[in-house]
Amino acid sequence: GTLAREKPLRIAYHRRRAEVVEHCLHDIDKARKAWKQLFEMIPADTAVHRSLQRLQIDMPKELIELLLRIAETPGRDPSPVLRRAVALAETRLGDFKEASDMARRCADTSKQSTDLHSLARIYSRLGASESVAGVYNEIASMEADERIAAPLLFMAAVHELLAGRQNAALEQIAEAEVRAPDDLAIQLLAATIHRTNGNSAKLRPALARISQLSASEETRFQVLIELSAVCEKLKDDLGASEALAGATALRPDDLDLLLTLADKHVVAKRWADAVSALEKVVPLLKDKIRCGEILAQIGHIEDSELKNTAAALNAYERARELDPDNIEVLQACQRLYGEGELPEKQLALLREELEHT
């Protein structure tokens, strides 16, 4: 009766009783009941918490319930206890829904990015991509360091895509680009989305940035080829040619690419650029006749478009060396010799033309 009236004595009595039952009698069930009774009396006592947790280690569900009650103890930081409850639900019970609810509560309480990362992981295991994206965006908003925030926004964009939310993904990418304009992964993801959507206007700048940022020569080459095609689709002939020129710089021995580039310059009447591309073609040709034709084309451009008689004669003369039977080249040389007041050379060509006829 005296013990019943004096709370401190009653607590001491129940504590000693629980210790004896557990450590002397080794009756785990009775010990557990004794510690629970004591917990109801002094719910803030950390020693009681430890004893109960130890006795319920093989009872994860009951242990989680205990941890949640401990977390509600006034004046106590619930975060460490909630983290343990989250780990138990995730690893021992495989209950990711309950784990995510507790992890959300823990993150809201602690305001720490590590707890938000744990929450993102659990949401990912649940397949809740939209929720994962929201958490990564939340972490990014906490980061002052742009180098850390940009990858987080990238991850948010990836999970928005997995959730089928392309517009939301593009918003995340746009913010990530502002924070890290030189991040290759962000540009690659942007290009993938714009390519899928058929949005050539937005694909073009993404490809241009990739061609500048990638360390892989093969990647830059393929991207420049695609960029040229995209620019052509957008009626940007100059952009298409510039992209092709960049590709030819990476593949200087690609004959077809150089010829395509030269044709684009001719169509656009960029005569000096056309001559430059055609001159690169000449040493790659094994067929003398074809090589002579390219040199004749160079001569024609230099003569008719660039009004450079000396350069035109140089090209025509090189063409004659490769194909002396080409009458058109011979006549072009004869005309230019006449215009350049070179009568001896003009006369020699007239004799040669008479021999051919």
- Tokens for 341, please give them: 């007041």
DSSP assigned state of 342: -
The H or E element containing residue 179 is: helix 166-179
Predicted pLDDT at 163: 94
* Residue 309 amino acid letter: T
Indicate whether 42 pLDDT > 50. yes
Q: How confident is the model at residue 5 (pLDDT cuts 50, 70, 90)?
A: low
Predicted pLDDT at 330: 85
Predicted pLDDT at 344: 54
Q: Which of 32, 59, 60 is nearest to 48 (CA)?
A: 32
Cα 86 to Cα 97: distance, rounded to the nearest angstrom: 10
The neighbour count for residue 338, using CB atoms within 10 Å, is 15
Of 145-149, 270-274, 302-306, 336-340, the one with minimum mean pLDDT is 336-340
Q: How confident is the model at residue 339 (pLDDT cuts 50, 70, 90)?
A: confident
Instruction: Count the alpha carbons within 13 Å of 138 in the hemisphere toward its beta carbon.
Output: 19
Predicted pLDDT at 2: 52
Predicted pLDDT at 6: 66
Q: How confident is the model at residue 350 (pLDDT cuts 50, 70, 90)?
A: low
Predicted pLDDT at 1: 47
338 vs 316, 320, 335, 345, 354, CA distance in Å? Answer: 14, 17, 5, 9, 17
- Long-range contacts for 312-315 (Cβ within 8 Å, ≥24 apart)? 312/336, 313/337, 313/340
> How many residues in the chain?
357
- 49-63 pLDDT, tens digit each: 888 888 888 899 999
Question: Mean pLDDT score of the chain, rounded to an integer?
Answer: 89
335 vs 110, 112, 328, 339, CA distance in Å? Answer: 89, 84, 11, 6
For the whole prediction, is pTM greater than 0.85?
Answer: no
- Tokens for 189, please give them: 């993801």
Q: How confident is the model at residue 345 (pLDDT cuts 50, 70, 90)?
A: low
Q: Is 335 exposed, middle or buried (0-12, 13-18, 19+ CB in 10 A)?
A: middle
Cα 65 to Cα 48: distance, rounded to the nearest angstrom: 15
Q: How confident is the model at residue 355 (pLDDT cuts 50, 70, 90)?
A: low
- 127-178 pLDDT, tens digit each: 999 999 999 999 999 988 888 899 999 999 999 999 999 999 999 999 999 9
Cα 212 to Cα 13: distance, rounded to the nearest angstrom: 77
